Every structure is written in structure tokens, then in C-alpha cells.
Amino acid sequence: MECNMKRISFLLVIFLVIGFFGCSEDNQPAAPTVNPPSDLTASALSFSEIHLTWTHNTGEVSFVVERSRDGSNYSPLAETEAEEYTDSGLLEGSTFYYRVQAVSGGATSDYSTPVNATTPPIEPSDLTVTDVKSSEVTLSWRDNSHVEDGFRLQRRLSSAPIEEYEEIVVLSADVTSYTDTLVEPDRGYNYRLHAFKGETATGWSEEVSAITAIVPTDLVASVISDSEIELSWTDVSSREAGYKLERRTAEVEEWTVVEELDADVTGYNDSGLDEATTFTYHVITVLEAGESSPSDPVTATTMPKAPTGFTAAQDENSPTTIILSWTDVSSAEDRYELQRKIEGPGQFQAFANPPANTESYSDAGLMVNTTYIYRVRAAVGSNVSSWSDEVSISTTILTPAQPSGLAVDSIAYSLVVLSWSDNSDNEDGFILERSRERFQNYTVVDSIPADQTVYTDTGLEPLTDYFYRVSAYNEFGDSDLSDVLRITTLEGPPTAPENLTAPDFGYGYIRLRWDDTSDNEAGFKVDRRDAPDGDWVELLSIPANVDSCVDHTVSPVTTYNYRVHAFNYIGVSDYSNVVEVTTPIGPPIPPTNLDSVGATLESIEISWDDNSDDEEGFNIYRRLPPSYAWGPIARVNADLTTFIDYDVVPATAYAYLVNAYNEAGDSDWSNELIVHTPVAPPGAPYELGVTPVGLREMELEWMFDTDDETHFVIERRDDQGGEFDSVGFAPRRYYSYVDTGLVPDEFTYWYRVKAVNGGGSGDYSNIVEVQTPQFNPPSNISATAVRATEIQVDWSPGPYYIDHFILESRDEPEGDFEQITDTPDSSFRHTGLIPDEHQYWYRVKSFVGQYESGWSDIATATTPPIIAFQDDFEDHELDQPPGDPWEYDNQDPSYIHVSDDDQHEGDQSLNFHDPADNDNPAAYCRVVVAFDDVGYGSVDFWLKLSEGGTFGFDALSSPEWNTGIEYLCWFFPNEIRTNNGNNWATVNYQYTPDEWFHIVFNHDADEDVFSVTIDDEVIFQDYGMVFGRPINHLWWLCFSDQNMDDAWMDDLFVRNTVEEEERIMSGPVRRKSAAPLFWYNPDNLPTSGNR
């Protein structure tokens, strides 16, 4: 590669030199023609290699290969004389572009047609079958790529050719496992996998195979003997060719085949095994395609070999001993287990475990004249052999005969005299046994000489049941026991209490405790004496069944002796043991009269009466009532009777208790004392600031930290050296105050603040000097004429609150001002003025309380001129369009009434006539009245319509004819229809054809109502007509030519605002026109309409 790059660099230098110096056509030969390579192909060999091939089309040439990542920016890659090249070390899943240039003798060809190829992702590896079940196969693999789009997994039957692979799933990137659940049981399958990115894929992985054979279930191993194990299982497959049974031992971990069995076989006996050996088995289903995985394993351990030749014989020297013998045939036992039972229906009982390799055992201590049955087996751990044959043997001994007739001769509360019959002549003596229970827990009372048949048993408990039996004995053993005799002793005096102790005592008491050994006492007597030799005196009589008492009559530091005895109606018991007790010293007498000597902000002194002469000191306790716990605060010496507590704070209640103490403990408490420390004055406010918030108001704000005030006192003075006076209070935790009623206009005040509580007043805050604001006249006064007889006056009141304003006016330049209003507002509408360019002057001043400002500047305004318009039309038939719209004919500015002449004929009316009589339904004639920003108002006129005529009126808020429609009103022969831009409404009305009627359309801005009046009768009113903008541009009067031959209009009268005085004001009529629109089209008017 390095040589190729150097050669490319050399060629580039040659090209540059040739290009720099040039070769003229006159003195240099022409460069040879080099044809570009053709048929360039690129194919990915692996995730890191792309192989290129091409065809050269010139003689001896070399080739320069160039590569690009984006298809635009190429860089040299290699130079070769071959017609192929392999580009290696590439990134996986990446697209590369290539082109080739031929080089011959210093000349280069054009580049070949570029080609591209994409390296595939890195192939996945380690495809593995991780789990196989009868209906699913789980696979896993290693994902070696970082760029793949996913994986394709294919499957085929193991018996099918490789061409029959089918894709079963497409998986997402980074997935490394999949469980195929679409497999059938008892089948063999092969799998392969590749990764892909876009259309590029890796090669296929190596194949893996899996067999979905159904594993046999319920495998059971049962031990039959020391050399045989029986196995069974459940056949759950329908396609097996057979089964393979395998086993292994702990010593040999490799599985060995026990037997290969036919199909449908479900059991096998494995024999010839070693004794006491553990075997593990599993079974495998065998198919034509292969084998299933093994079943779950089971284990079984063969028995050890049972002993043989088992015998039993009586010991010659001991008739109650049996000698057992057997032959040890096992090499694995760790012990033997021997069992026996007495002849009859009873159960065998284990009695001995001789060690391994033993072949005999002596069973001693057996019952005489009894037949025993024995058996033996070998054992290793919990594994045992079968039992040996059973053997039977009897113990035959000459023992004495059984005594009989056991009876009571006499009885008392502590003894009994017994007798019996002696039925034997060979006894060595008798054994007498006694128990408190009939069938168990007998103990030997005595061994009685031969031939004696009476015995006195003493030391018995009164009123107690006893059971007796007797047997004879000799050298050969004991006779059978006699019948059991039950006796009940008589009642006697109680038994003596025992273990008298004094477990607890003090300087004023001794507690005694004893063991009550009797159940028939009527009570106990407690005796006391002064030690060591005083006379015993009965102290207490205690009820029955009580085992303790307390003597409260003792004195401190004194020695006493105590004893106790029980009694009943028969007599008294013996005395208990004597216990000696010395009482300790006692605690002192409690102090009294705990009282307060005095309390300050920093301390409390208390005193008490000392009533004891043996105290070691006094304990002083304190708490903060009512809820805190008591706690010690001091311990003072004996004989002191006062204490000063310096750990206190002001304004707090403290409770005290005192007791005396010595080595014996604490006395009782004194009386409880509650003492209150006085309240401390509060701290001083700080950072007092004062800010004007009105011409006569100051706001004070301050800081305060101690939170112990009840209120604040605000003080003020208005003289540099004068006295401060209180002007107000602020409640607790309020750190501001507004001082009112001050003198305005730069009057100087001084302020200070102090906190107050039950302890008095705290220190003052800092003193603040401040001036009230300047009291300036109102500013920015303006006056604007808004109607013919109205002027709007506005002014700025200033930054502070003003109580009211006085506004004055005059209508002569040098005249006197007169008050026209006293108002709290900063604006005023001056009405009832002289219209038609009459000038007015205004000034205003402010008032706060009794104080007033100077006058403001003077503002002036002039009422607008009165302009009226009325048109008495000339007689004119509109059978031909006029040349131009009529121009405005200025009238004298005077008030004009609409004519009340109802004959409007002759030269003073405008006739709309269609000579063609074409009844065009889309033809209209409009009279357009336009204003220049005139506001609300009305249009009225006289109208006469021929039969079937239709007339309309539109009110607009835009200078364009087709926008801003706010209201529509149309007259039909039998009704009026109106629309306020939202909904249509209908009013019943019928006009009389060919007769004049008077129409007024009016919009009252103040009342916000639109009305239609015909012949002085209101036909329609619509309240709440909030148009959002004034109807200030166009009024349209429209005549439909449909079904109408003639219409007349007269006395058109337009005004922009109608006052009560019916004056006309504000704004000239700018243009009026009349024409049938279907033949006349002036500027800004439609050619036709369907309004």
C-alpha cells in the first residue's frame, strides 16, 4: 500500500509539472489516448472486505483505485496492474464508493463509472441449543455486530435436504435468544442464523440440531433385595423406536447402558447388583431421528445382605440370659439390629445394636419362665437388610410362690399395720413396695425376713391414699406380685411450716414468708421476740393457705426473732425454724412550709422548715408547669433551709419540691411551690423607615427580633426640639403603621417606635425625619368637543389620593371662571353647551381634607359646527343613467325638519322607473349616503312603492360596500325581515301600494338600540346591538326592480347624531348617488347584488 501511494504521489507531481509548464502543439507530441476501464463491479467478501473487478480497454496500463464514503469526495486507495483489487480493513455495515482510472505512459483516462458496495454486519457465532422440550426449542447465539438491523432464523427437518430451509422469524437488533414454539414432538430439527443490515446480510452460521423427543416421565426405582432394583416409567411418546435404560454409581460417574428395550416397554428389573450400593438411573426415548434428552434421574440403594444361621440358647450359669448367634455374610454392614417380643400378639421391640462383624450377643436380665421370640438384620446407615428367620426360646426358673391376702390390721394418720399369707417354703424374704399411684412409681418400703407376715409402715401423710404390694424372692428371682392393697390414712394435726425467711424488710416493716407443708391447717400463728433472749409473744394469726405476712410494728435499727406454727381442730404443728432480722436506719422526716423568699428576672430564692435531725442533705426538684416532668436541679447540705435558683428566665412560672435524704433513702416531698419570675421589658425596634404614601399619610416600617411585645407605641413630633407624642399603636407582630391626618406640602415630622409588654417599655428605635409630599395642582388638563353641545375635560390627579376636584369654566377670553362641578373623578363631560363653534376655557384644583392645591393650567375647546343636509329631489326618471353622481350642495347650517307633506308629488320627488319592465330579479337600484367618520345616527325619508315592490336598508361599519355589514332590514309586501349579523327576525307589516309612507332608521348609541319607525310608529326595536364599532361609513337604501314598475323617494334627511333637541352635527355628507345598478357602475359600487 505504501508503494502504491508513493507511486500515486509521483504521478500527481508529473501531472502538476506538465500542467505548469504546458506543451505547445508546435513542439510537443500529443499525449496518447487512454480509455477508461469498464465493467467495474464491487462485491462484499466479508464484513471488512470488498472485492473489485474491471475490464481494461487500453494496451499496457496500470490502474489507480479511488474510494469514497459519500459518493462525492474520493481519495486514492491503491495502484495496481491487475484487473482486480480487494479492499480490506473496512467497517462493518458501511457503504463504500469506488472508481478506477487507467494510467498509460503519463496519460490518464477518465474515471470509470462509480460503483458501491456495503459490507455486511459481523456474523453471529456460537449458535447453540440451550433447551429442548417436546413442543419448543430454545436457541442462543453471540451477537458480534454493533450495526445489524436484525437477525433471520431458518429451520428445516433434520431429514430434509438443506434446500428446504425456511425462515421462521426475523428478530430485532441485539436479540441473542429465541424460543421456537412451532415444533412438533418426536422430531429432529436443524437451525441456522445470519445477521442483516438493509439488503446486506452475513453468511449463515453453522447448523445446530435439536430433537423434540418426548422424555419418559414418572421414572420410579424400587429396591427388591440386596441385588435387585425394579424400575418403571410412563410411555408418553407415540413415535419411539424403543427406550435406552442407563445407570451409574457414585464411584463411576459415566453412564452405562443397562438395557436397550423395545417400544411401549414401561418397566425393567435390574438384577445381579452389589449389596448396599446406590445406583442412579435415567431412561431415554429412542427415535429414528435420534434420542431425547434423559428423563429426570432417580436413585435407589440395594440392601445389605441379611445374616444367616440365626440361633438362641439359655445360658447355663444364668437362667435369665439368652445367647444369640448368627453368620455374618455381608461386607457392608456398620451394625446389627436385634429385636424381640414375648410370645403372643405383641410387637417386636429393638433392644440391641451389636457392631459390624459381630456374630453373637447375650441378652441378660430377662423375666423368668417367659418365652421370647428373636430376629436380627444387618444395617448400614438407614439402609437395612431383610430380617433373618425368627427363633423362639423360654427362661425356666424355680422362684418362690406368690404371697396372698395382703390386708390392713390397723391404721392412724401417720402409720399402717399390714399382714399377708406366706405361700412359699423356699423364699429368702419378702419385698414390700408402696406408691401414691395404683399402676406405677412403686418404691421399696423394706426387705422383710422370711416367714414374717406383719409389717408397720410409719411416717405417712394424713388423709393420703397409699397403694401396697408384696412379693417373695430367692436366689432364682422374685415371685409374682401380690394383689395391690389401697389404704387411706386418717386426718391429723397439720405439718409444721418450713423455710421461714424474711425476704424483704425496711426501717418500718419486715416481710415474712414460709412454705405451707399442710393441707388441713385452720391457720398459722406468728410469734415475735426481741433478740436475743426476749419472751416470745404471739404477733399475728394468719388464715389457712396464706404463706406470708408483713410486720409493720417494727422500729428502725432493732433486732427481732420470728417463728411460725400451723393449727387445726386436732392440734398444732411443730414450730418452723427461727429467723432473725435487724431493721435498718430510716429516711428523714420530710421538710415543710416550702415558700418563696423572692423572685427577680434572673433568680428565685426559696426556703423550708427542717424537721429532721438525721438527714444528710436536701434534694431540690423543679418543673415548668403544667406539663413538663419533674427533674432535680440541686442537692444541698444538711441543716440548710434556703436555696437560690439562678437558672431562670423572665416571665416564666416554676414549680419546686424539696425532700430530705440519708443513707436510708429520701423522705416524702414537701408541699409544692409555684413561683413566677417577673416579665422583662421587650427589646428595641430597629431600622425604622418612614415613606410618604399620600399627601397626608406616612407609612412606618421597622424590624423587631425578640417577639416578646404585647404592642408597639408610635410617637411623633412636629418641632425639632419639641416633645414626642403618642399617635397610635400597632398590635403584636405587626411591624408597620400608617399615620394619617398630616399637614401636606413639605411639612416636617419626626418619628420613633418602642415595644411594650407586661414588664414595661423597651428602648426606642432610631428617629426618622421626613417631609410630607408637595401638594401640586392637577396636570395634563385637556378639553375635547365630543358632540355639538358637549365637551369632555380630563386631567391627571397626581401620584397620591385626592378627596375631590373643583372644575371651573368660562366662555369668554377675559370672563370670570365659574365652578361647574365638585367631583371625586379626574374627568368630566360638560353638557348643555352653545353649539356651532362656541369656545370654552377650563381649570381645575385638588382638595385633600381642608387643604387645597393651586389651579391647574387652562385648557380650551370649541363646540363643532352644525351641518345639516336635506335633499328635495328634482323630478327625474331613471330610464337613463345620469352622467355623474350628484355632488354635495352645501345648505345653510340650520336646523331642518323633515317635511310633513304627505303629497310629495311634482318636482320634488325622485322616481325610480324601469321602462324596459324586464323584472330582473338580480337588478337593484341603490341610493348611497356616505360619511367621513360620523358615528351613530339616523336616516329618514318618504317612500312610495308600486305593487309588489321590495325595499332594503343596510348599515355598515366599513368604507367598502361588501364588508363590515352590521345590520340588514328588508321590506317585503307582507313583512319586514331584520338581521343583526347573527339571526334573522320577522315582523308582520303590510304597506299600501302607491301611497307615501315615512320611514326612519335610527341607531341610538347611548341606549344601544336599533329601531325602525314607519309613519311615527315603532315597527321594530332590537336591544343590545353591541356592534363593537360605530356605524360610521355607509348607509345604503336599496330598491329591488323585481315585480316593481315604479318607486318614488323624497325628502332624504341624514344626520349623524340625534339629540333631544333634534339638532344635526358633525360631518358633511360626502357623496350621494342614485342609479339602477344593473346598467350603471360607478367606482366602488357593485355591478349587481343580491342583498
Three-class SS state of 200: strand
Share in percent of the chain as helix, strand, coil (round to 5) = 0, 50, 50
How many alpha carbons lie under 13 Å from residue 340 in its C-beta half-sphere? 23
End-to-end, the C-alpha distance of the chain in Å comes to 89
On whether the CB atoms of residues 560 and 540 are closer than 8 A, the answer is no
Condensed to tens digits (0 to 9), the pLDDT of residues 68-94 reads 999 999 999 999 989 999 999 899 889
Other CB atoms within 10 Å distance of the CB of residue 190 = 18
Other CB atoms within 10 Å distance of the CB of residue 55 = 11
Q: What is the pLDDT of residue 643?
A: 96
Other CB atoms within 10 Å distance of the CB of residue 720 = 8
Instruction: Give the CATH fold of the 317-395 domain.
Output: Immunoglobulin-like (2.60.40)
Architecture of domain 404-488: Sandwich (2.60)
With cell 463509472, the residue in question is: 113
Q: What is the pLDDT of residue 87?
A: 92
Strand partners, 244: 260, 284
Low-confidence residues of the chain: pLDDT under 50: 1-28, 867-903, 905-908, 913-924, 928-935, 959-963, 1024-1034, 1041, 1056-1091
Write out the CATH class of domain 686-771.
mainly beta
- b (16+ CB within 10 A) / e for 425-460: eebeebbbbbbeeeeeebeebeebebeeeebebeeb
Q: How far apart are CA 890 and CA 8, in angstroms?
A: 99
Domains of the chain, by residue range, sit at 2-118, 125-211, 217-301, 317-395, 404-488, 498-582, 592-676, 686-771, 779-862, 869-1076
What's the order of all strands across the beta sheet hosting 137-142?
125-132, 137-142, 177-180
Domain 592-676, CATH:
2.60.40.10
Q: What is the pLDDT of residue 835?
A: 80
User: What's the one-letter identity of residue 123?
Assistant: E
On whether the CB atoms of residues 101 and 66 are closer than 8 A, the answer is yes
Answer yes or no: CATH 2.60.40.10 is held by domain 2-118. yes
Instruction: Give the CATH fold of the 125-211 domain.
Output: Immunoglobulin-like (2.60.40)
Q: How far apart are CA 590 and CA 625, in angstroms?
A: 23
Structure-block grid coordinates of residue 621: 426538684
Condensed to tens digits (0 to 9), the pLDDT of residues 243-270 reads 899 999 988 889 999 898 888 898 999 9
How long, in residues, is the chain?
A: 1091
Q: What is the pLDDT of residue 870?
A: 41
Closest alpha carbon to 474 in 380, 399, 364? 399
Interstrand relation of 137-142 and 125-132 (parallel, antiparallel or unpaired): antiparallel
On whether the CB atoms of residues 427 and 477 are closer than 8 A, the answer is no
Please classify residue 162 by burial: count the beta carbons closer than 10 Å to its beta carbon, then call 0-12 exposed, 13-18 middle and 19+ buried.
exposed
Helix/strand/coil (H/E/C) assignment for every residue in 463-508 = CCEEEEEEEEEECCEECCCCCCEEEECCCCCCCCCEEEEEEEECCC
Q: How far apart are CA 142 and CA 125, in angstroms?
A: 5
CATH superfamily assigned to domain 869-1076: Exo-inulinase; domain 1 (2.60.120.560)
Q: What is the pLDDT of residue 1046?
A: 62
CA angle 62, 64, 69 (to 5 degrees): 160
Architecture of domain 498-582: Sandwich (2.60)
Q: How far apart are CA 771 and CA 769, in angstroms?
A: 7
Angstrom CA distances, 171 to 149, 151, 610, stand at 9, 5, 99
Domain 217-301, CATH:
2.60.40.10
From the options 2.60.40.10, 2.60.120.460, 3.20.20.70, 2.160.20.60, give the CATH code of 779-862: 2.60.40.10
Q: What is the pLDDT of residue 336?
A: 93
Closest alpha carbon to 244 in 214, 278, 283, 215? 283
Other CB atoms within 10 Å distance of the CB of residue 250 = 10
Q: What is the pLDDT of residue 877?
A: 36
Please classify residue 267 by burial: count the beta carbons closer than 10 Å to its beta carbon, then call 0-12 exposed, 13-18 middle and 19+ buried.
exposed
CA dihedral 692, 695, 697, 701 (to 10 degrees): 0
Closest alpha carbon to 1040 in 959, 948, 963? 948
Q: Do domains 592-676 and 869-1076 have the same CATH topology?
A: no
Q: What is the pLDDT of residue 319?
A: 79
Q: Which residues contact 273 (CB under 8 A, 6 or more apart)?
A: 226, 227, 228, 229, 279, 302
User: What's the one-letter identity of residue 133?
Assistant: K
